[in-house]
Structures are given as structure tokens and as C-alpha cells.
Amino acid sequence: MKFEFAKHKGIFITGTDTGVGKTLIAGAIAKILSEKGKKIGVFKPVATGCKKTKKGLINEDAQFLARCASGKLGLDLVNPVTFKAPASPFACEKAENKKADFKKIADAYKEICQNSDFVIVEGIGGVKVPITGRFNVLDLAKAFKLPVVIVARSKLGTINHTLLTIDAIRSAGLLLAGVVINGYDEKTIDYAEKSNAQLIAKLGKVKILAVVPFDDKTNMKKFIIGKKVLKNLKKVNWLKI
């Protein structure tokens, strides 16, 4: 199965796992660039664990991304494919008797590109999460042909997860822009957390773009991003990755 989407300037954000903070980082980057006067398009092609509303299935991550961006694109464009169950898209396909519509994804992405200077595409889970039986997140990233940013945890175990993700991305022939280590807690930081960034950079031969601290002022449900998160990400020139 091969798909190609509209070519545009931007980044593809993936994670070493579910729950590592991809959406927070993607939203923060969108907010930073929007405040610089850039038209930023955000795109979450596929989402699961969506809430049923009168307007259809709504994903909270997609809502957060849309609020962080400068545009006024509807959620049907920001997140064209939605599933109710909190599982992989392939598992949802069987449970909900519907498949990911790649034409719908391509059409929505094309419209977002036409209305944006720069796009931020967020995957779902890690790179090996299956979207269909033959197509996973890594294949999705290949279709977009965007530089890839990995979001990784700061805790013990992140070296293994991050290096495996780096290997998968490079083996697919994709451009790896670098790694964002997210969520380290200055109050409880231990030796593993202190050394993870340096070791990942050395062993993975990869650039650590930012090390983002936990910020208790962040409240994604209220669309609030803490100053500590923004401060660390502002140091990166995202437009020239």
C-alpha cells in the first residue's frame, strides 16, 4: 500500500510510545510559530479514543492542536479520521467496522497545506502502531516526506525506546531532525534522567533539539501551556529543520 500526500514545508512528530507528550510538544511548537506571525497548519491524520458528540467523534488532542495553531481550520480537516475505541487504528477497524480513509486524509492535508506556511503533523503512538494490517505510522511518515521529530520520555528506559525508534526511522530512509526529551521533573530528577539526553545523542548519533521540563502550569484541557515548556522549545529554529 503506497500513498503520497501534498508536498509542503513542515515536520512530522512521532513518539517512542503512547503518552510521551507528542501533542503537547506539537501544540507548543504551533503556538510559538503562530505568535511569530506564521500561518501554521496542524494535522492529526488519525485519532482513536475519541468522544461521541452531536457533531460526531471528537478527539481532545486534535482540539488542543487546533487551538494552538494560528488558523481557523475545522476539526474535520485537522483530524479527518476518527475512531471511538482507545486502541490502535487497526484494532479499531475491526471493532468499529470501518477503515482509515486515506483519500480523506490526503484531501484534508492538501487543504491545510494551501492555507499554511508550515505544517506540523502528529502521528499516533509510536512508529510501529498499525493503522491497517499493512500500513503503520512509519509508512504514514514516509508518505508525508517530512523531517521527523521524536518525542521521548525522560525516565529510565527511554534510551532503549528512543534508539529503537531512531533505527526504525533511519531504516525507512526518512530524515531524522532530532529528539525532544519531554517531562523531566526538576524536583525528582535522578541520575538516569540527568544522563539520558547525553547518552541518546552519543549512541544514536542524533541531535537533542530540546529537553523540556514538567510544568505544573500546563493544562491541556484548558489549552494552557506552561512557560517552562515554551521557553525550552523557543530555543529551536523549527522553520529551518
CA 195 vs. chain centroid, Å, equals 24
Cβ 59 vs Cβ 66: under 8 Å: no
Look up cell 482507545; give the residue.
86
In this structure, the number of other CB atoms found within 10 A of the CB of residue 103 comes to: 9
Annotated catalytic residues are 44
Give the bridge partners for 213, in sequence order: 184
